[in-house]
Amino acid sequence: MRFLFGLVFLASGILTAQDFTLQGTVKDQDNNPIPFVNVMAKGTSIGTTSDEKGKYILHFTESGSYTLTFSAIGFKSVEKNVSLENSNGIKLDVTLEEYLEQLNEIVITSNRTRETLDEVPSSVSVLTSRQVENLSQTSNSVADILTEIPGISLSTNQTSNTGQTLRGRNMLVLIDGIPQSTPLRSGGRDINTIDPSTIERIEVIKGATAIYGNGADGGIVNYITKKTAESKPFESTTTVGSTGSLVAIDNTVGANISQTFSGKVNKLGYVANGTFRQTGVFKDANGVVMSPFYGLGETSQYSLFGKFNYEISDKQNIELMYNYFSSNQDTQYVAELGEYGETPTIGVLGEDPGEDQGNRYNHNIQLTYDYAGIFGKTDLRTNLYYQDFKTVYGFSDFFFDPNLGFDGGQSSILSTKKGARFNLKTPYSFGNVNGYVLYGLDVLNDKTSQELVDGRLWVPEMDMTNLAPYAQFKTMYSDFVFKAGIRFENIKIDVPDYTTITTYNEGETTPNGGGVAVDGGQLDYNATVFNVGLRYNKWSVFKPFVSFSQSFSIADLGRTLRSATQNTVSEINSEAVIANNYEIGINSQLGKTRLSGAYFISTSELGSTYRETPSGVFEIARQPEKIYGVELALDTELLENLNFGTSFTYVEGKLDTQDNGDYSTYMNGDRIPPIKLVSYLSYRWKKRLDTRLSYTYSGNRNRFDPNDSGDYSYGQGPVDSFNVLNLTTNYQLTPTTNLGVGIRNLLNEDYYNLISQWAGRDSNYIKANGTQFNVSLTVKL
């Protein structure tokens, strides 16, 4: 802590004595403020971004004439000349013209401060509001929306996102910075925890990072919720729609309705949304009902969202956000098992013996307080948040217990998080060298357990307290951007006394496992993680960067506890995973063509790969891991209003099973996906017609041999390639009315999703959706 206090005094002392201030507001042609505008003084490293109200402020240490560049996503860049002599507090307001075809500048906020991509020495992807709306026309699942991002695996088409990794590792999913993942007992339900109608944009920071704490070995995915409309006191947006199958439409039709109110009255801004979606039966390319096993068909999805912000003064702002999400399946079908590699598991009419499965509820509430210039030029941001989550899994005879009279059971994960973040940002400058110090403290309490709906305990409640002070330095000189950071993890987990659940083979009365009485205790984890990166921005055609970053995660402690064979918690192998990410990449702008690429290597001395034992029980293999890969992306304007883009992702991973430095064993398919290629062609005509055709290719991956009986272990099934085309079209019928049409799997490709192939199980061997439609009508007043 002395180190952090020293940073505060250092940052306060290096501010220059003379300061020329330039400030203003950036608006569009309709007089609406534009947030996240990149404002730079040409020929210097002085720059900033506008806040949510379009306001910006620049500090200069020398008088003179400067040329300012204003650029933002979806707007034409402009330059303004300004002269700073002996006067101070000059005001310069700027209006930008909409220009959707040129998307040069992307701003991210998930690094705890506003930055453009040119200021970040690492790989970042952002899905804008327009992209989210476009991609959601072919699916109401956020997991599907993410699949076009390089580095993220294809979705499972299930409630589970098991196997949908980021660079071969688990990602930490956030909503406005609030953790949604449950790393203490990873349940694979964290991606689908929000409705697309609530999302303003999605930011993905790739590679190991500890910026938000436990669980981000592959990176973070941050869902940024909608912002208030500040141009008028009241705005209403209503969307109604219908979905269904174009192969065999009977019983497949679903409906959705979404209502949003937004505006600003004096100093109070607000946005509120309510969305209901109901899906019909899902069918494959042959019109056969798909298995309902963790399916997204026959689901009812509810979403409530509200955000209120109040401008206390020019320097102070307070904001309250609440989001509720629930998605549950009420199916009239049961699974009829097929044979892995031969015939698919399908859905037939029947009654499921268990309760409806799905995410019962996900409550998120956050209070944010901002104070610009709380002392000197130091800005303060404080977040207080709360999350309450419950998900229910399908019925399984694994929980058969003749002594208690149970034919089976259903497990559920419950997780409650309470946290606070205290974030300070102090800028500094030495002549042409300037930057900032970002520092603060994160506090998190996470209580997670896994129990059966009948009351039996499977994983005891783990009570984690995490205190993590951190600091991040950023320095800009000439065309160089240098960043370095440090974070101190201090974690304590209390585990109560418990007894592992007793298991039986179906029809037998003698237990085959479990029943171990375990003495609880406290587990302590302490670690220091670092990051460092350098970027060079002199040439627009070649902007290289290099970086090293680390993450800290506790490898699914709940799974380890539920299969414990030792009698005390202290004897259980639950050491944390520290992942190291090494990366080199470039960004390039060649006229109207944008290129980006990165090569990465990710290593960890301890692994977190699931391994299936001969008895069918899963355990975590604590073996050294090495994952490496390449990501490439291109976007260009072929003709006026005609754009083309493509991205390529290759990831491979190996284990050092003998712990001798020889990484000779391939990692399973639940961690490592096959090659992914995504391309699109979009056309926009007079701001009335917007059409997009996207193509996804998933390659094959065959790294493992079957056992003597011809079966594959979990995660080791061979994966065959497939191709999928999606089409979305939006047409502006009137200035206030928009018609949208989405077609998923346009050519009705007959294939199996990745999880169906690599899982190597009859129950998972389920075909993908055939051609589906989504029609929507949006009225904005």
Across 503-570, where does the E strand assignment appear? 503-504, 511-513, 517-518, 521-536, 543-553
Contact 667, 653 (CB under 8 A): yes
Which residue has tokens 């000439």? 478
How many CB atoms sit inside 10 A of residue 529's CB? 22
Give me the DSSP letters along 374-414.
EETTEEEEEEEEEEEEEEEPPPBGGG-BTTTTBS-B-EEEE
This prediction has a pTM of 0.86
Task: Return the residue matching tokens 């917007």.
Answer: 690
Nearest to 456 by CA among 374, 398, 508: 398
- From residue 268, how far is each of 234, 237, 265, 312, 463 by CA, in Å? 12, 19, 5, 9, 38
Architecture label for domain 219-780 = Beta Barrel (2.40)
Q: Could you tell me the residue ranges of all domains in the chain?
A: 1-100, 219-780
pLDDT value of position 449: 96
Alpha helices, H only, 147-225: none
Question: What percentage of the chain carries pLDDT values higher than 90?
Answer: 59
Q: Is residue 416 within 8 Å of residue 153, measured between CB atoms?
A: no
Record the tokens describing residue 616, joined without a space. Answer: 């069918």
Token readout for 396 is 């399984």
Rounded-to-integer distance, Cα 627 and Cα 168, Å: 7
Residues of the chain under the 70 pLDDT cut: 1-19, 45, 73-74, 86-89, 98-108, 110, 572-574, 607-622
Q: N- to C-terminal Cα distance for the chain?
A: 53
Note the pLDDT of residue 393: 94
Q: What is the pLDDT, as a whole number, of residue 90?
A: 81
- Are the beta carbons of 502 and 511 closer than 8 angstroms? yes
User: What would the two tokens of residue 753 be?
Assistant: 């999703």
The amino acid occupying position 441 is L
- The helix (H) or strand (E) run that includes residue 559 is helix 557-562
Confidence at residue 751, expressed as pLDDT on a 0 to 100 scale: 97
Consecutive H or E run containing 145: helix 142-146
Residue 607's pLDDT is what? 64
Top-level class of domain 1-100? mainly beta
Look at residue 8 in the predicted model and tell me its pLDDT: 43
Tokens of 321: 């956000």
Q: Which amino acid is at 211?
A: I
* Distance between CA atoms of residues 751 and 744, nearest Å: 14
Q: Provide the pLDDT for residue 768.
A: 96
Structural contact between residues 70 and 94, judged by C-beta atoms closer than 8 angstroms? yes
Burial of 605 (0-12, 13-18, 19+ CB in 10 A): middle
CA distances, 287 to each of 97, 281, 682, 771 (Å): 48, 11, 30, 9
Q: Residue 621: what pLDDT?
A: 66
The DSSP code for 196 is G
What pLDDT, on the 0 to 100 scale, is given for residue 573?
A: 62
